[in-house]
Chains A and B, each alone.
Chain A
Amino acid sequence: MQQPWRFVNTGNSEPAFNMALDEALLLVHEAGAAPPTLRVYGWCQPTLSLGYAQNAHQEVDLATCQSQGIAVVRRPTGGRAVLHDQEVTYSVVMPLLLVDGPSTITEHYRRIGMALAMALQSLGVPVHLARPQVRVAFSRALASPACFAALSRYELSAAGKKIVGSAQKRAQRALLQHGAIPLWLDRQRLFECFRVPPERRQALVQAAYTTMGAVNEVAPAPVALSAVQNALRQSFSVTFGVELVEAPISPEEWRLAQHLQATKYATDAWNLDGAAAWRQRQPVASV
């Protein structure tokens, strides 16, 4: 048995804190001061999270988001936008070095994908891992701004629809992967967040009925949020051959998360203007 992992359920938090804590968990684990961690969490308000390099000013209808009470936050990870609402959100922080298999990006995706699939299958949700040879042509200009619109390698689908959207950040010795497992999906509301012409918006919403799914749209019986969270703890334990011990966030992690929240994830510079603009405004080299 390897070193135990930590399991932590941090409940619903502010969007900026959620992203700050995920980054703090990565940084502290990278520094060797925390175990690998599976975190489950939620959002205290509906939130549109953007990928690291997405252009908020061009792609997001900020006025509509504000009037609808939808917060906007930029993730430390890549990919496209996710509307977090009525979902289970997970994050995994773990070493790049796997002791029982190849330590490649593909293998990390495959293993985490297996754990996610096992959790949902245990609840009767008929999910599949996308096959590795599936190659999604990517064009930033033509692609949907929504993460759930495209299925990538080792992502989960049910009835041909993407049902878990995940994104990854890789540091020197550790990785952060976080993702959304929607229990329900409001496709209209999702695409109202984007700056697209009305006719294209309706086309995107219609397409989303065939490309995006949610757990309770395909589960044989209603699945509760806590059931998914518990199933994740079990399935990560089995998949990675480790015990998952419930333990709190350390004071060091809290302090770093609060610092990152104040200086990064709660700022318009990071969330709206982007990573490069935020970095330029830092007084000194920063995390």
Chain B
Amino acid sequence: MEFPANLRYTKEHEWARQEGNRIVVGITDYAQKELGDVVFVELPEVGTPIETMGTFGVVESVKAVSDLYAPVSGTIVESNIILEDQPELVNASPYGQGWMVVIEAANAEEFQQLLTAAEYQAYVAQEKSSR
């Protein structure tokens, strides 16, 4: 299972990559493995305003429909519409071709508050273990 060190993460299993003021967002390798085969992705239109931890879309797999949560606030400036026809890219390439949206961040500091790879990896280990 991959946890790229250059990304930040949420407890809701999204990843975020900073490119200047733009934040690229997708779901993690762990999330796609947990969900199983993704069969449908619903993403927002460009221009949609989004709040931190607000839902920005939906992913449906053979197991469940899950809401997608925005790691940072801002405005949707790109939506990966290829996923409408090829939702399986989320499974095949969660950190690459399976990216979901790009958010023009309203507040650059929000990105720095997200989990680091090590913190997220520890969180996943905790979630998978008995409490």
Contacts of A100 in B (CB 8 A): 130-131
Contact B62 A53 (CB under 8 A): no
A residues 95-111 in Cβ contact with B at 8 Å: 97-106, 109
Contact B131 A172 (CB under 8 A): no
Report if A136 contacts B (CB, 8 A).
yes
Contact A52 B53 (CB under 8 A): no
Interface size on B, residues (CB 8 A): 24
Contact A138 B34 (CB under 8 A): no
Contact A53 B131 (CB under 8 A): no
Contacts of A168 in B (CB 8 A): 63-65
Contacts of B61 in A (CB 8 A): 78
Contacts of B130 in A (CB 8 A): 100-102
Inter-chain contact total with CB atoms closer than 8 Å? 73
Interface size on A, residues (CB 8 A): 31
B63 contact from A52, A53, A101, A109, Cβ within 8 A: A109
Contacts of A218 in B (CB 8 A): none
- B interface majority secondary structure: mixed
- A interface majority secondary structure: loop
Cα distance A57–B12 when bound, in Å? 33
Q: What is the minimal beta-carbon distance from A103 to any residue of chain B, in angstroms?
A: 5
A103 contact from B58, B65, B127, Cβ within 8 A: B127
* Smallest Cβ-Cβ distance to B12: which chain A residue: A172
Contact A105 B62 (CB under 8 A): no
Contact A102 B63 (CB under 8 A): no
Contacts of A97 in B (CB 8 A): 131
Contacts of B34 in A (CB 8 A): 104-106
Cα distance A138–B12 when bound, in Å? 25
- Interface residues of chain A, those whose CB is within 8 Å of chain B, are 51-53, 76-78, 97-106, 109, 136, 138, 140, 152-153, 167-172, 175, 275-276
Cross-chain pairs A/B with CB under 8 angstroms, 25 sampled:
A52-B60, A52-B65, A76-B65, A77-B64, A78-B60, A78-B61, A78-B63, A78-B65, A98-B131, A99-B131, A101-B131, A102-B127, A103-B131, A104-B34, A104-B127, A105-B63, A136-B62, A138-B37, A138-B39, A138-B62, A152-B62, A153-B63, A167-B64, A168-B63, A171-B67
